[in-house]
Amino acid sequence: MRFLSGIQPSGKLHLGNYFGAIKQYLELQDKGEGLYFIADLHALTSVQNGDKLREMTLDVAIDYLALGLDPKKSILFLQSDIPEVTELAWILSTVTGMGLLERCHAYKDKVSKGLKASAGLFTYPILMAADILIYRSDAVPVGEDQAQHIEVAQDIAQSFNAVYGPILKRPEAKISPAARVPGTDGRKMSKSYGNTIEIFAEGGSLKKAVMGIVTDSKAVSDPKDPDKCNVFALYRLMASPAEIEELRSKYLAGGMGYGEAKNMLLAKIDATFAQFREARKKLAADRGYVLSVLKEGAAKARAIAAETMADVRKAVGISP
């Protein structure tokens, strides 16, 4: 079983990325062959500053390694280190109907959030399909918001195969169970809303983010509804079933203020991520090691991509 997943290096990773995506991806390392890449080409649709992109790309690589990606088990690489992907994306664009892309929500959502309506943003799902199909991936773990893009990849594989024969493998989506992690303002946590709690935040900046979580204005003595509270929703991602029940009863009983719940959440975040922060500091001090992991990963990924491309080029007639 081959798993593949990509993440854009377009900002600091947050708890939504971790619980909605990365945690599940990393658990798969023991269940099959894992390919994890940093989608730097996709990030060009939103980050248009070379120095910044380079820095964020390396940051995400360090984050992944710190969070437990094991280069002995999995392949970690940069999307842009595999030039065959853009070649395949072009070929796939010739079998992709405009209607398929026009139906994609992500494009409209991103434009409505202020991203430039570029051709790259519109054809983003084709590059994503190329990422998936070039490695003949069996399953693609993603958050719910990416589910439609996997359907697009399935459709494109089918259109290609209908014209050229059974060459591309149909990938299955593996949608993460923690579908929507709320941000500090209660909307979906997202860097574009500025409501994130960063995975590697600590000390004062972490405290500031947690204390800033929006709650209702019930008094300390009032009973509170845990299922409508953003603090509780975040706490339950990290706590044991017994701890969740304990906090739930405190909410329902009244007598506990939101400040106390926030302090419990803060302690939980510290307990969950302290080990990763230490690992990250060590990796950040050893850039050479991180770059060598990416280089080795690229060589392995490229060997797989080359095999698929040999079949694709032959089928479409561009390798005489």
- Taking CB under 6 A as the criterion, the residue among 3, 4, 8, 64 binding ligand ADP is 8
Angstrom distance (rounded) from CA 113 to CA 116: 9
Among this protein's residues, is 191 annotated catalytic? yes
In what helix (H) or strand (E) does residue 34 lie, and over which residues does it extend?
A: strand 33-38
Among this protein's residues, is 174 annotated catalytic? no
Among this protein's residues, is 110 annotated catalytic? yes
What number of CA atoms fall less than 13 Å from residue 256's CA on the CB side? 19
**260 is a contact residue toward ligand ADP (CB under 6 A):** no
Beta-carbon count within 10 A of 135 CB: 25
3-state secondary structure of 54: helix
- Taking CB under 6 A as the criterion, the residue among 4, 7, 35, 304 binding ligand ADP is 7
Binding partner of residue 39 among ligand ADP, ligand TRP, none, CB cut-off 5 to 8 Å per kind? ligand TRP
Stretch touching ligand ADP by CB under 6 A, among 75-83, 116-124, 128-136, 188-196: 188-196
CB 183 within 8 A of CB 193: yes
Least Å distance, CB 146 to ligand ADP, is 5
Query: Using CB atoms within 10 A of its CB, is residue 273 exposed (0-12), middle (13-18) or buried (19+)?
Result: buried
- Only one residue has tokens 């922060």, namely 277
Structure-token pair, residue 48: 């248009």
- Taking CB under 6 A as the criterion, the residue among 11, 16, 18, 42 binding ligand TRP is 42
CB 176 within 8 A of CB 21: yes
**74 is a contact residue toward ligand ADP (CB under 6 A):** no
**6 is a contact residue toward ligand TRP (CB under 6 A):** yes
**45 is a contact residue toward ligand ADP (CB under 6 A):** no
- Taking CB under 6 A as the criterion, the residue among 3, 9, 20, 237 binding ligand ADP is 20
Angstrom distance (rounded) from CA 266 to CA 126: 40
Among all residues, which ones are annotated catalytic? 110, 188, 191
Under the rule (CB under 6 A), what is the footprint of ligand TRP? Answer: 4-8, 39, 42, 128, 131-132, 140, 142, 146, 149
Q: Which residues bind ligand ADP (CB under 6 A)?
A: 7-8, 16-17, 20-21, 142-143, 145-146, 178, 180-181, 188-192
